[in-house]
Every structure is written in C-alpha cells, then in structure tokens.
C-alpha cells in the first residue's frame, strides 16, 4: 500500500450542509472520547474508511478475535435536524509529511460531502492532576471567534502558547486555503491520563453550540473511575517529591507518569 486508500461504504449519502466533528487520539484522548460518545448516543453510521501507509503498521484485535487494520473513519448522523459528520480513528499520522497529506485528504472528503463548518476537538495539557472545567478555543477566522464567545469558551491571546500540534490544529490551518470555517475546542486536562471528565465538560459546551441534548451518564461513570486513579497518582507524586529531597533526580519518575496517558 503506497497510497492512502479511501473506502466509501455507501453510495447515496444525502446531507444538508453537514458540520464535521473531528476527534482523533491526542492529549488525554479528550477529543476521541467526545466523538466516540456521540457516535454511540446518536447512533451514527460509518460511511467512509481511510487507510494509510502513514499510520503505524498495526492491527487491533476485536472482541471476536478478528483483526482490524488501524484506520480513520467518518460517521454520519442527525441531531436536532442538523446533519453531523464525525471523523475519528485509531491513530494520527506517524510522520510529519503524512500529517499534511492526510489533512488535505480529510478536507477533500469534507468538501465532497458539502461540509459547512469543522469543529476539531482535543485536550489542552495543564500539567496539573487537579481538574478544571474549562474549554479553550481557536478558530481560522475572527467572525467564528466572536460567534463562539457566548458559549463559555475561553479565548486567550496567543494561547495555547505552543500552538496546536497535530490534526486538530493542522485542519484549521489547511482549511484556510479553502475558505472553510473551522474551529478547535480543547478541554483542559492534565496531559498524563485519559480524561473522560474533561471530555464530559467539552461535550457539554459542544451540545450548547449545536443546540442538541446528549446523555452524558456513561462518560460521567468513566470520569469517576479516572478521578480515583488521578487522586492516587497525585498522592504518589507528592510522596515521591518528598523522597527526592534525599535522592538524586532521575529520569524515571516523570516518564512513568507519562506512559499512563
């Protein structure tokens, strides 16, 4: 497989000015958790599969021990009369160049499907294990920024300071060349753990924007479990810092925490 492979699962897709939600794996898996939840709650239908030599050479194993070549997928659903497309997947590109190539492929498909606006969803790493109910946003044109002000999204000058890396940011940048409205919403998250609590809050903001109602109970339950783990980790971290006053600093502590995420 030298080229990306796009498999269209349906011949007759009729959508009216759909919006595209993008939730790929990333910081705290916040974006992916949100769209996975939406796919289930809104009973979304898979319409496109995307395979690429830029994804890792890997298959995942299903419940029935069959395998699935890692890919990205587009789902379609309807909520409150709005046509919604959802892009999610197992991985982002493994290479710099692949990111740009796949980014344009996603936008080609978005244009083909008549997408009117893109929301990319992600996490904003705070480095703190304590949770904050905050969503920070950025957009690819100032009109969108203004329009979004009413939904409790924070817009801060030049924040995130390190920019937005990966598909969530790149899709905003690349869609500027196509005059396509796109904005990125990032839930605050530690950056160390999969974070359903952040996903839950981000989903609340998104629901307000789209004016739809979504049952968040399943995310809430996962969030409670993760909160316990985070509390344990915070305690461990505190203890370790105590110890480190008497021991030379090593690489391992930070690394260990990071591997959990």
What are the backbone angles phi and psi of residue 50, rounded to the nearest 5°?
-125, 120
Cβ pair 190, 230 in contact under 8 A = yes
Pick the closer one to a copy of itself by CB: 81 or 248.
Answer: 248
Pick the closer one to a copy of itself by CB: 61 or 130.
Answer: 61
Pick the closer one to a copy of itself by CB: 156 or 215.
Answer: 156
Pick the closer one to a copy of itself by CB: 45 or 49.
Answer: 49
d(CA 181, CA 107): 11
Pick the closer one to a copy of itself by CB: 39 or 139.
Answer: 139
Cβ pair 38, 214 in contact under 8 A = yes
CB of 226 to a copy of itself, least distance (A): 18
CB of 77 to a copy of itself, least distance (A): 25
CB of 104 to a copy of itself, least distance (A): 5
CB of 57 to a copy of itself, least distance (A): 3
Q: Which residues does residue 158 pair with via DSSP β-bridges, in sequence order?
A: none
CB of 16 to a copy of itself, least distance (A): 28
What are the backbone angles phi and psi of residue 81, rounded to the nearest 5°?
70, 0
Question: Which is nearest to 180 in space by CA: 82, 78, 108?
Answer: 108
Q: Which residues bind a copy of itself (CB under 8 A)?
A: 1-2, 5, 53-70, 93-97, 99-101, 103-104, 137-142, 145, 155-161, 163-167, 169-170, 172-174, 176-177, 184, 247-253
List Cα–Cα distances, 33 to 2, 12, 171, in angstroms.
31, 29, 19
């Amino acid at each position: 497989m030298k080229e990306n492979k796009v498999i269209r699962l349906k011949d007759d897709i009729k959508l009216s000015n759909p919006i595209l939600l993008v939730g790929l794996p990333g910081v705290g898996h916040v974006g992916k958790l949100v769209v996975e939840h939406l796919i289930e709650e809104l009973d979304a239908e898979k319409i496109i599969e995307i395979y690429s030599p830029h994804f890792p050479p890997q298959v995942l194993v299903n419940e029935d021990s069959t395998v699935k070549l890692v890919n990205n997928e587009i789902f379609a659903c309807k909520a409150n009369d709005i046509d919604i497309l959802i892009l999610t997947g197992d991985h982002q590109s493994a290479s710099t160049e692949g990111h740009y190539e796949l980014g344009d492929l996603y936008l080609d498909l978005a244009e083909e499907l008549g997408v009117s606006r893109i929301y990319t969803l992600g996490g904003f790493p705070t480095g703190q294990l304590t949770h904050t109910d905050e969503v920070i946003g950025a957009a690819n044109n100032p009109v969108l920024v203004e329009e979004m002000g009413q939904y409790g999204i924070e817009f801060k000058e030049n924040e995130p300071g390190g920019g937005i890396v990966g598909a969530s940011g790149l899709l905003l940048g690349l869609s500027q060349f196509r005059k396509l409205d796109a904005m990125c919403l990032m839930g605050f998250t530690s950056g160390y753990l999969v974070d359903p609590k952040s996903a839950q809050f981000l989903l609340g903001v998104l629901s307000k924007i789209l004016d739809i109602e979504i049952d968040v109970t399943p995310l809430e339950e996962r969030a409670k479990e993760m909160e316990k783990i985070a509390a344990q980790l915070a305690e461990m971290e505190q203890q370790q810092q105590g110890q480190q006053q008497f021991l030379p600093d090593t690489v391992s502590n930070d690394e260990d925490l990071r591997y959990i995420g």
